[in-house]
Amino acid sequence: MTTANRLDITLGEAIFSLRAIRRIKPDPIPDNDLHTILDAARQAPNGANRQPWHFIVLRDAEVRKRFGAIYRVAWWAKRNDEGFFKPEDIPDHYKPAMALADDIGQVPAIVLVCTTAPGSRESVIPATQNLLLSARALGIGGTITSLHPKVSDDVRELLDLPDGAEVVYCVPLGYPQGRFGPVTRKPLSEVVSVDRWGSVPEWAPPG
């Protein structure tokens, strides 16, 4: 069976129910599902088809634990930059992300989406979305997350990153404890114009 045939929920269902899944069961992801997810990721458009990406899948328990400790430092470094220093300071909208920062080491697979060439970070963005949509089609959830310069050296050492390569996104993956979608987004009328900024089409009503 080809990768395309394994992704057999509708595209619409996948897109409209793809939300950030941060509470993840520890159950392992089968090899063939990881194959499908990464095979879908590498089909994505990218600048000049240079495919300047590399995906490191963390599965070993000890590696995940060590990465989890680094991720937690990175998450708090980002919050420190915003003026938050302890759990009591953290606003409610960050609470699920804070919990993920504590738990990410127990997530069954963590995909580190890397760029292999300087100036090519944008090229891994469509691949990351392909990765998440194909995971969704297999009942596997996750979310895009980012690290922080404070942990760059630790990440490089843990993963043996070659010169020129860097982690762009860190995507925890696994079976959701909760449910997929729907998502809450601004109405079309706030985000779409036709011909010039601010001319809202009648097919994009508010709400």
CB of 143 to ligand FMN, least distance (A): 5
Structure tokens at 10: 């509708």
Measured from the CB atom, the residue of 97 and 158 that comes closer to ligand FMN is 97
Helices of type H across the chain: 3-6, 11-17, 31-41, 61-81, 95-103, 125-137, 152-159, 188-191
CB of 96 to ligand FMN, least distance (A): 7
Of 161, 167, 162, the residue nearest 149 (C-alpha): 167
Nearest approach, Cβ of 93 to ligand FMN (angstroms)? 8
List residues bridging with 113 in a β-sheet: 55, 169
Interacting residue ranges for ligand FMN, rule: CB under 6 A = 19-20, 22, 97, 100, 143-146, 183-184
Q: Where are the alpha helices (H) located in 18-163, listed in sequence order? A: 31-41, 61-81, 95-103, 125-137, 152-159
Shortest spacing between CB 65 and ligand FMN, in angstroms: 19
Cβ at position 202, least distance to ligand FMN in Å: 27
Q: Toward ligand FMN, which CB reaches closer, 52 or 141? A: 141
The whole-angstrom separation of Cα 101 and Cα 55 is 21
Phi, psi of 53 (to 5 degrees): -130, 160
Nearest residue (CB) to ligand FMN, 47 versus 162: 47
Q: Choose between 38 and 171: whose C-beta lies nearer to ligand FMN.
A: 171
Q: Which two tokens stand for residue 16?
A: 């409209």
Spatial CA neighbour of 204 closest among 195, 196, 194, 18: 194
Nearer to ligand FMN, 36 or 143 (CB): 143
